[in-house]
Amino acid sequence: MTEPRTLTVDLGARSYPIIVGRDLVAGGFDIAPFLSGGACLVVSNETVAPLYMDPVVRLLGDRDVHTLQLPDGESFKTMATAQTVIDELVRMGANRDATLIALGGGVVGDITGFAAACYMRGVSFIQIPTTLLAQVDSSVGGKTGVNHEGGKNLIGAFHQPKLVLIDTATLSSLPDREFSAGLAEVIKHGAMSDAEYFSWLEKNMQALLQHDDVALAEAIFRSCEIKAAVVAEDERESGKRALLNFGHTFGHAIENSLGYGEWLHGEAVAVGMLMAAKLSDLSDKQQSRLRSLIQTAGLPIDPPPIGSEQLRKAMNLDKKASASALRFVLLSALGEAFVTSEYSEVLLSRILGSADA
């Protein structure tokens, strides 16, 4: 086991560490200090559980440990699936000292965190993300929830984990398409917050695609640093945290319009970032850099032919719309994002038109 790196999400009494390293699970990481003391429920899915469930259960030692496998895919990120987790907690007779452990990607993490937030008005949970997207984004910050046919993540709660344990070795089993989808959120962090990091990604994208250990650990740690700093300043998205939604207003509308799971979240966000960049007052050169980096990462650069009217309808239902006005995260330059409801309607219509067949 290589020496892990640790950073803290600073939320006072609810602060927690993000630990990034290789072979943390197989190497017997000491998870005991982060458990509440009661029963443990490890929630995974049918794809990840056969790979990593047994080592995680071994980490938990001789405690009262239960396991649950969910179906795999964004289409199962529903109230019904969250109910399955809660039903298992009831069946176990779990009390308020129970700990839920989310082992998987963003869907598993969001569902498990949401169940933990709801059960007995809140029990502890731990994130062990196994996809790049979850490691750099969804496992950090305490956003939990499920989708509704009217929009993505419309039902949810803020509920912070006790620990985020990021084992980079789990990425070795990740399909190339899902790995690229995770790179979309990595690129997002540089584009919205750190021009120097964005430049680093341009220089190191090939190393990341080749799963170079050093480059991968640096990208994950830096992305988590950026998100942790934003969350510490604005936990419940009343201000600065909204900047993390760069590309998501368009991206969520694409996901909703296609049907959840048709495009991966990162694929939709990649196109959403390019659409947001077009709506921004961004130079052609900087737009070209963003487009090139996204394309090099193996991500789509054009929206699917779902139609401009459908895309606008889905955007109007997005949870980030406020007082009937759309809010966008736009860029004044690479590394400098802002939230606004002021934009060119003519330009927006033109951008949405790129989704017409």
**Domain edges within the chain:** 5-172, 176-355
CATH number assigned to the domain covering 5-172: 3.40.50.1970
Say which of 3, 121, 203, 285 is annotated catalytic: 121
Say which of 241, 289, 319, 327 is annotated catalytic: 241
Topology given in CATH for the domain delimited by 176-355 = Dehydroquinate synthase-like, alpha domain (1.20.1090)
Q: Is residue 189 annotated as a catalytic residue, yes or no?
A: no
Q: Is residue 121 annotated as a catalytic residue, yes or no?
A: yes
Q: Which of 187, 141, 131, 146 is nearest to 161 (CA)?
A: 141
- Indicate the SS3 state at residue 325: strand
Say which of 225, 237, 255, 267 is annotated catalytic: 237
Q: Please write the tens of the pLDDT for every residue from 307-330.
A: 999 999 999 876 555 556 789 999
Q: Please write the tens of the pLDDT for every residue from 193-232.
A: 999 999 999 999 999 999 999 999 999 999 999 999 999 9
Q: What is the pLDDT of residue 1?
A: 45
Q: What DSSP string describes 29-92?
A: ---GGGS-SS-EEEEEETTTHHHHHHHHHHHTTTS-EEEEEEPPSGGG-SHHHHHHHHHHHHHH
Dist. CA 116–CA 68, nearest whole Å: 14
Q: Please write the tens of the pLDDT for every residue from 57-107.
A: 999 999 999 999 999 999 999 999 999 999 999 999 999 999 999 999 999
Indicate the pairing of strand 5-9 with strand 16-21: antiparallel
Dist. CA 142–CA 200, nearest whole Å: 28
Give the predicted TM-score (pTM) of the model. Answer: 0.93
The sign of the CA dihedral 335, 298, 172, 208 is: negative
Say which of 77, 143, 222, 327 is annotated catalytic: 143
